[in-house]
Chain A
Amino acid sequence: SAVISQKPSRDICQRGTSLTIQCQVDSQVTMMFWYRQQPGQSLTLIATANQGSEATYESGFVIDKFPISRPNLTFSTLTVSNMSPEDSSIYLCSVRGSGNTIYFGEGSWLTVV
């Protein structure tokens, strides 16, 4: 299994500011995934982050709004830029473990006011 730590767990942010979420894994992984879960909805994949290359963004998500870093095989960050109330969500980092099982962090619950 993989243990994933996310920071911050919760934050209240002012409109127009940016926040960086950190994701730390206890083992080396090739791919890390960033998801958004808006209130009452299911998960939507934002991007896939591979170490040493640019992140791959899903339709509807752009690098200027959600820049991602992946400096090594155990760590990634997601920045939510120029936040608006519509960005209030849980942001989740996940990795693929052995046997194709997907593991998730505890999530970062952002409220934009």
Chain B
Amino acid sequence: QVQLVQSGAEVKKPGSSVQVSCHVSGDTFSSHAINWVRQAPGQGLEWMGGIVPIYKISEYSEKFQGRVTFTTDESTTTAFMELTSLRSEDTAVYYCARDGYQYDVLTGYKAFDIWGQGTAVTVSS
């Protein structure tokens, strides 16, 4: 059974950076994209971008371009999201989510079939 397990809650000062990890177990790590989605308190879902480990290619939402970086570590089957220059509006729950498309065999669908439990990031002075 595939699971995505994220790192714990973070409290950060404005202007600092945060890194959230997402450990993937029970599956072929490299062949599925890992997406990052955030949800501000009481708000909807916002896609930040994603990374395809097998190609080490990332795509970033224009809104976060220049402030966010996605990386992966295949040895630990973990994906990372780093967000810099934090401001209060970045207070949100951050989710990693696997998409169902398999980039090694080019089949499947890109809806987000498995999600991490979420990581709460609070930005406050």
A is bound by B: no
**Footprint of A on B, CB under 8 Å?**
none
